């Protein structure tokens, strides 16, 4: 399909480059002691927020394609929205709709799962067990358990990854107990054999992303497939034991574990002839475990055993590489992204972040498609993330990202650049207030240096965020602080910085502006008309 942008009649773009700076996880909080963004010393951001060229954007719920206003935004849908310019129904909404209509149970992949059970295979449900609705939802587990019971599936095993990140940091047992009750009910009623078989904290077990630490996936493989991890008689016992051993530990960092029978034998290793469904609908932390199950030439770690199973994802996690090969729900079809239009017009651009968010400024930004759109006009730079708990080094790779970005800007090769600073989000997820303050300050210092270069090159900068996180580090219940490690429902900043007065503009009165309005705004600032069916631009050229 041929793509074409029309040039604006009264503006050809700035003299220098246009730089989009995404402060991951930095929203507008309550301006109290729970708000690390407010508590941080941020002279650059404070000054920017005095500008007339700024507004606040929605980054959650229907504004980014999620079901309701109660659904937190996340980096995946946020970058889809910014890069795609339109609202697309996202994972949580698509999966729920498919379950409500029953379409998921008419898919080819579901039929193949059932075929395995008819031949005596076990159904394994593997995924994040919580109601955070960012990567998965416990209701989806319940729906599949009940459907399997209805279809007389006699044997099922659950491999549960514990959250503590998109939900309360020590809430695992509150999700394990109702699932155990459901499994017991199914077993008692039908004489079936449904059990929890293994698990572990999401930052320790299975859910690595962007190949940051394959040992996380290896630990998951050992627990789920080999039955090689700490032994416990139940998942609840595993969690409570680890709580007792280390009162400061949180769910996302709990060790891998295996549930065993009275003879200390694992109750549910994944074996040849079985079917495995990965329950997460979000792609970034689902790709690597999918590769471990599917790749014949897999070499990231020694799998020891490679059972022949039918493996299916809740969704397709990578549309270009077709990972996994089988999936239950069709992903959102995001076409005609901003980058596709810019490449078609020969506009040079770069994208840069550290490993933790590199896929967001590339894969998710480009509509869930890996690789370059056109290498002739694009440059992607990944700064390797440190393999360390983020509160231990809250600056993360902000300095290295800034240094490399300045080099790219000064090269004169690029008309548009986009940066993601992961600090506010990744450190915000730790629940450590002081570390989050330091993280936000590091981003502010980096922005100051970048804006100095924009000044020098007579360019324009946009400063925004993909969702909130560090802006709400705890809540108070019954007078007690409860650490909050999840994203927030808060609005995020959108600021245009144009010190050279490249363009005479004013902010428009867009009703309920959100992240999808950014694409049209970027196109205008580059000297192009907005795409006809993109969401409205946030600016009016005078």
At CB < 8 A and 24+ separation, what contacts does 30-33 make?
Answer: 30/471, 30/472, 33/433
- The SS3 assignment for 58 reads strand
Q: How far apart are the first and last CA of the chain?
A: 33
Six token digits for residue 255: 């060790």
Q: Which of 127-161 are b and which e, b meaning 16 or more Cβ less than 10 Å from the residue's Cβ?
A: bbbbbbbbbbbbebbebbbebbbeeebebbbbbbb
Distance (Å, rounded) from C-alpha 61 to C-alpha 517?
Answer: 15
CB atoms within 10 A of CB 449: 15
Task: Say how far residue 295 (Cα) sits from the centre of its chain.
Answer: 23
Greatest Cα-to-Cα distance within the chain, rounded to the nearest angstrom:
79
Residues annotated catalytic, as ranges: 75
Pairing verdict, β 416-421 and 18-23: parallel
Contacts of 314 (CB under 8 A, 6+ apart): 91, 95, 127, 136, 140, 277, 278, 279, 280, 281, 286, 327, 328, 329
**Residue entry with tokens 């983020």:** 390
Six token digits for residue 28: 């507008």
Distance (Å, rounded) from C-alpha 157 to C-alpha 269?
Answer: 8
- Cα-based angle 282, 162, 356 (whole degrees, multiple of 5): 50
Task: Report yes or no: 24 and 465 within 8 Å, Cβ to Cβ.
Answer: yes
Distance (Å, rounded) from C-alpha 367 to C-alpha 351?
Answer: 15
- What one-character DSSP code corresponds to residue 236? H
């Amino acid at each position: 399909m041929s793509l074409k942008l029309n040039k604006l009649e009264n503006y050809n773009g700035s003299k220098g480059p246009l730089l989009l700076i995404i402060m991951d996880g930095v929203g507008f909080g309550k301006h109290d002691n729970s708000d690390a963004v407010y508590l941080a010393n941020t002279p650059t951001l404070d000054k920017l927020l005095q500008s007339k060229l700024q507004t606040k954007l929605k980054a959650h719920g229907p504004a980014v394609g999620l079901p309701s206003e109660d659904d937190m935004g996340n980096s995946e849908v946020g970058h889809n929205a910014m890069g795609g310019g339109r609202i697309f129904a996202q994972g949580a909404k698509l999966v729920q709709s498919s379950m409500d209509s029953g379409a998921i149970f008419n898919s080819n992949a579901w039929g193949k799962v059932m075929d395995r059970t008819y031949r005596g295979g076990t159904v394994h449900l593997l995924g994040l067990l919580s109601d955070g609705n960012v990567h998965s939802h416990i209701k989806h587990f319940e729906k599949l358990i009940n459907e399997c019971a209805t279809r007389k599936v006699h044997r099922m095993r659950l491999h549960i990854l514990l959250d503590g990140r998109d939900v309360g940091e020590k809430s695992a047992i509150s999700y394990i107990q109702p699932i155990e009750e459901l499994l017991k009910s199914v077993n008692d009623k039908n004489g079936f054999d449904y059990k929890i078989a293994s698990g572990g904290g999401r930052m320790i077990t299975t859910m690595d992303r962007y190949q940051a630490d394959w040992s996380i996936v290896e630990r998951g493989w050992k627990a789920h497939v080999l039955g090689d991890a700490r032994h416990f008689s139940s998942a609840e016992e595993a969690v409570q034991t680890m709580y007792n051993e280390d009162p400061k530990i949180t769910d996302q960092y709990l060790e891998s574990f295996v549930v065993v029978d009275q003879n200390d034998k694992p109750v549910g290793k994944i074996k040849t002839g079985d079917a495995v469904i990965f329950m997460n609908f979000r792609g970034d932390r689902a790709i690597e475990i999918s590769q471990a199950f599917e790749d014949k030439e897999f070499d990231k770690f020694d799998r020891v055993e490679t059972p022949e199973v039918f493996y299916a994802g809740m969704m397709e996690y990578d549309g270009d590489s077709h990972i996994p090969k089988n999936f239950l729900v069709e992903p959102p079809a995001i076409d005609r992204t901003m980058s596709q239009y810019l490449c078609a017009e020969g506009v040079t651009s770069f994208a840069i972040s550290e490993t933790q968010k590199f896929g967001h400024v590339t894969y998710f930004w480009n509509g869930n498609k890996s690789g370059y759109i056109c290498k002739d006009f694009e440059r992607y730079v990944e700064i390797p993330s440190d393999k360390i708990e983020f509160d231990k080094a809250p600056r993360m790779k902000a300095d290295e990202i800034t240094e490399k970005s300045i080099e790219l800007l000064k090269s004169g090769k690029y008309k548009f650049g986009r940066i993601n600073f992961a600090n506010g989000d990744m450190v915000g997820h730790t629940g450590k207030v002081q570390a989050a303050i330091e993280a936000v300050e590091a981003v502010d210092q980096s922005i100051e240096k970048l804006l100095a270069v924009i000044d020098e090159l007579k360019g324009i900068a946009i400063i925004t965020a993909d969702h909130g996180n560090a802006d709400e580090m705890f809540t108070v219940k019954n007078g007690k602080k409860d650490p909050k490690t999840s994203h927030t429902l808060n609005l995020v900043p959108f600021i245009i910085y144009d010190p050279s007065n490249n363009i005479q503009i004013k902010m428009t009165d867009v009703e309920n502006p959100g992240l999808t309005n950014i694409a049209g705004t970027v196109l205008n600032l580059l000297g192009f008309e907005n795409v006809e069916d993109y969401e409205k631009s946030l600016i009016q050229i005078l």
